[in-house]
Amino acid sequence: MIQLENIEKVYRTDTLETVALSGINLSIRKGEFVSIMGPSGSGKSTLLNIIGLLDVATGGKVSLNEKVVSSHKDRDLANLRNRELGFIFQKFHLINDLRAIDNVEIPLLYRNMSYKERRKMAEEALEKVGLISRTSHFPSQLSGGQQQRVAIARAIVGKPKILLADEPTGNLDSQMSDEIMNILKELNQQEQTTVIMVTHDKRMADMTDRIIRIFDGRQVA
Amino acid sequence: MIRHLLKLTWNRKRSNFLIMLEIFFAFLVLYVVTTLGVFYVDNYNKPLGFSYENVWSIVMDTQQQSIAPQQKIEKTQQLLLALKSFDEVEEVGGMFILPFSAPDYNNNYRINGRKVSVHINTVTDELKDVLDLKITRGRWFEKSDEAAKANLVVINESLSKELFGDQDPIGKPLFEVGPGEKEKIVVGVIAEFRKNGELAPLTNYFFERASMYDTVNFTLPSQLVIKLRPGTTAQFEEKLVTRLQNTVGEWSYEVESLAEAHRSHLLFYLTPLIVLGIIAAFLILGVSLGLIGVIWQNVTARANEIGLRRAAGATLTHIFTQILLELLLIASLGMLLGVLLVMQFPLLGIIDFISAKVYMTALVISVVFIYLVAIICGLYPSWLATKVQPTEALHAE
């Protein structure tokens, strides 16, 4: 489903060249739950951003559904992010001035959909994460765990085939972390959604099918 | 998308309150300026009704508290003869209220239950030729009118339409008069007479005939207007005043060209527009800077949101449009109360001489102008928003 070939990411300034990723070859199958581990600054998030088409590799090829996408234009990449990918972040990134349901419907705004359809799908997504009773709440009226569940609802509202989670439990206590992991596992098992999760937490990583380890920008396992 | 952005803008109304307030006041002042401007342009496009080129006015001051009518008539006749003896003078007329002068005489008449405001002037037979008035129906005053029993009047088309509609007013009494009062009979209609110039609104106007020999009602005007031959220079003024003083030395004379009076009068009308225009320009400048500031700050403070939207599938065009649309929505909310407020003006007829057409044209111009300012202010911040890197924005603290 996702194929990375010899991925390289180098940040260049006039005087300095920093290698963030080098020689990454990776293949992730449909329905896999993969975690990416590694110390801070090892390149985990950069790798996730390249997989998520938010960042462009300086070398190598990224393929999605057996099509090379690394050379696509902004409009096509945006469309792929919108249809195929869902993102979950450590800091939730909810818009504080919007109610939960309005936050959830954001990805659907970039599709040709009526307001009614959007609302229906957003409600379904909130129901999946157990927050149907909180649709009209603003993020500030929700706990950290609830906010992350809203963020998951936003990530899955468009029914993407791949979920990319960047330390989704990093800001949560262990109980809430478990709740979030259970939701991700459910999505993975029941809906065959491919999940790629960056984490520092070994306990969380052990709950996934496969662990990819990154060290100094290189894949070590 | 608009609905989503409207919610977002509405929910952020507190943080946008000051700029909305600023837009509200700027809109109001701009609307006043635009209304005045549109009103002037609308008036300017209507006919003035007379010609003031090569026409001078002479204000005669008798320098005496009282003067016997017969004596005034004699002296005025001497002056008229003196003026007509100049080769430079084509025609001499008299009138009570000069074009482009501050004084005005108007009366409100109740006709068929309606209040009709009418401006009145008393003029001599020669005025038509001096000011080149255009007769559209009937005739102008003539010497034989001296013997008329009724008061003869010439009205303008506005008054004719107001009082007689599509009917021919010639030979009809202007108003019903009380017992013992002389009837005012319409003998002619002129196209227009806009005494206050091109920028003033159309008014109902009628001229009464001034008799050079009327010692009873004493309608002899104390202001003369002279039509000069083309090419007469300003040096003629000295020659003219000298001749007048030599003729009736105990009176004083003030001579002014109507073209000069026209210029002064235009300034009188344009000054409030210029002052308000400057105030509006400063307010718009303030609004522009405010809008740029708000949006710039928005783009910086909302980098996370922009990054998130990019991750959720927004293209660069989506981001650019969103920032610009938000700006237009802020401007719309700022103007909303102002629009509701100014819509009351034509509905309630607060200023009756300004037509609903002028109000609505000014409203459209003001709204479009504020939107244009908003778009211009938003272009750069919107472009900046497209430069936000989602990877950096989503990892920033």
Over the stretch B175-204, which tens digit does the pLDDT of each residue have? Answer: 777 777 788 899 999 999 999 999 988 889
Where among B206, B223, B250 does a domain terminate?
Answer: B250
**Which of B8, B307, B310 comes nearest A97 by C-beta?**
B8
Where among B250, B283, B315 does a domain terminate?
Answer: B250
Please give the pLDDT value at position B76: 85
Question: Given the structure tokens 């000014």, which residue do they identify?
Answer: B362
* Chain B contact set for A140 (CB, 8 A): none
Q: What confidence category does residue B72 fall into, taking pLDDT thresholds of 50, 70 and 90?
A: confident
| A3-13 confidence digits (pLDDT tens) | 888 888 888 88
Residue B177 sits in the same domain as residue B278: no
Judged by average pLDDT, the poorest of B138-142, B259-263, B389-393 is: B389-393
Question: Given the structure tokens 């928005």, which residue do they identify?
Answer: B298
Query: Cβ separation of B394 and A93 shorter than 8 Å?
Result: yes
Question: Given the structure tokens 């009103």, which residue do they identify?
Answer: B39
In chain B, how many domains are there?
2
Is residue B59 in a domain? no
Q: What is the mean pLDDT of residues B288-295?
A: 83
Is A80 a residue whose pLDDT tops 60? yes
CA-CA-CA-CA dihedral for B349, B355, B356, B359, to nearest 10: -100
Residue B200 sits in the same domain as residue B317: no
Residue B198 sits in the same domain as residue B301: no
Where among B217, B250, B283 does a domain terminate?
Answer: B250
What is the average pLDDT value for chain A, to the nearest integer?
A: 88
| B29-67 confidence digits (pLDDT tens) | 889 889 989 999 998 988 899 999 999 999 988 766 577
Please give the pLDDT value at position B180: 75
Query: Which has the higher per-residue pLDDT, B344 or A35?
Result: A35
A106 touches chain B (CB under 8 A): yes
Residue B37 sits in the same domain as residue B103: no
Is residue B54 in a domain? no
Residue B129 sits in the same domain as residue B234: yes
Strand A162-166 to strand A85-89: parallel, antiparallel, or no bridges (unpaired)? Answer: parallel
Query: Cβ separation of A97 and B308 shorter than 8 Å?
Result: no
Residue B33 sits in the same domain as residue B120: no
Tell me the count of A-B CB pairs closer than 8 A. Answer: 75
A109 touches chain B (CB under 8 A): yes
pTM flag (> 0.80) = no
Is B170 a residue whose pLDDT tops 70? yes
Query: Cβ separation of B394 and A89 shorter than 8 Å?
Result: yes
Residue B143 sits in the same domain as residue B279: no
Q: What is the mean pLDDT of residues B127-149?
A: 90
Residue B210 sits in the same domain as residue B72: yes
Please give the pLDDT value at position B221: 79
Radius of gyration from C-alpha coordinates of chain B: 31
| A144-178 confidence digits (pLDDT tens) | 889 988 998 998 898 889 999 988 888 778 888 88
Query: Cβ separation of B308 and A105 shorter than 8 Å?
Result: no
What domain range is B191 assigned to? 64-250
- List the structure tokens of A55: 């960042």
Is residue B136 in a domain? yes
Strands (E), B174-289: 184-190, 205-209, 223-228, 252-257
Is A70 a residue whose pLDDT tops 80? no
Residue B245 sits in the same domain as residue B361: no
Is residue B337 in a domain? yes
**Which of A93, A98, A110 comes nearest B11 by C-beta?**
A98
| B240-283 confidence digits (pLDDT tens) | 999 999 998 888 899 999 999 999 988 988 998 899 889 888 88
Could you give the ipTM of this predicted complex?
A: 0.90
Is B110 a residue whose pLDDT tops 80? no
Question: Given the structure tokens 């008799």, which residue do they identify?
Answer: B211
Q: At what angle do helices A174-191 and A144-156 cross, to 10 degrees?
A: 20
Please give the pLDDT value at position B249: 85
H or E stretch at B70 = helix B69-84
Is A40 a residue whose pLDDT tops 80? yes
Q: What confidence category does residue B396 fall into, taking pLDDT thresholds of 50, 70 and 90?
A: low
- The CA distance from A79 to the nearest CA of chain B, in Å, is 6
Query: Cβ separation of B315 and A106 shorter than 8 Å?
Result: no
Is A221 a residue whose pLDDT tops 80? no
Is residue B52 in a domain? no
A68 touches chain B (CB under 8 A): no
Q: What confidence category does residue B397 fall into, taking pLDDT thresholds of 50, 70 and 90?
A: low
Please give the pLDDT value at position B149: 82
Please give the pLDDT value at position B251: 87
Residue B235 sits in the same domain as residue B102: yes
Q: Which residue of B has its CA nearest to A52?
A: B311
Please give the domain boundaries of chain A with CATH numbers for all domains.
2-219 (3.40.50.300)
Query: Cβ separation of A110 and B7 shorter than 8 Å?
Result: no
Is residue B260 in a domain? no
Is residue B255 in a domain? no
Q: Reduce the secondary structure of chain A to three states and give it as a string.
A: CEEEEEEEEEEECCCCEEEEEEEEEEEECCCCEEEEECCCCCCHHHHHHHHCCCCCCCEEEEEECCEECCCCCHHHHHHHHHHHEEEEECCCCCCCCCCHHHHHCHHHHCCCCCHHHHHHHHHHHHHHCCCHHHCCCCHHHCCHHHHHHHHHHHHHCCCCCEEEEECCCCCCCHHHHHHHHHHHHHHHHHHCCEEEEECCCHHHHHCCCEEEEEECCEECC
Please give the pLDDT value at position B111: 75
Is residue B57 in a domain? no
Residue B174 sits in the same domain as residue B201: yes
A79 touches chain B (CB under 8 A): yes
Please give the pLDDT value at position B363: 92
Is B164 a residue whose pLDDT tops 90? no
Please give the pLDDT value at position B3: 86
Residue B269 sits in the same domain as residue B349: yes
Q: Which residue of B has its CA nearest to A80?
A: B313
- List the structure tokens of A96: 């504080």
Q: Above pLDDT 70, what percent of chain B?
A: 96
| B317-371 confidence digits (pLDDT tens) | 999 999 899 888 888 988 998 999 888 877 776 777 778 888 889 999 999 999 9
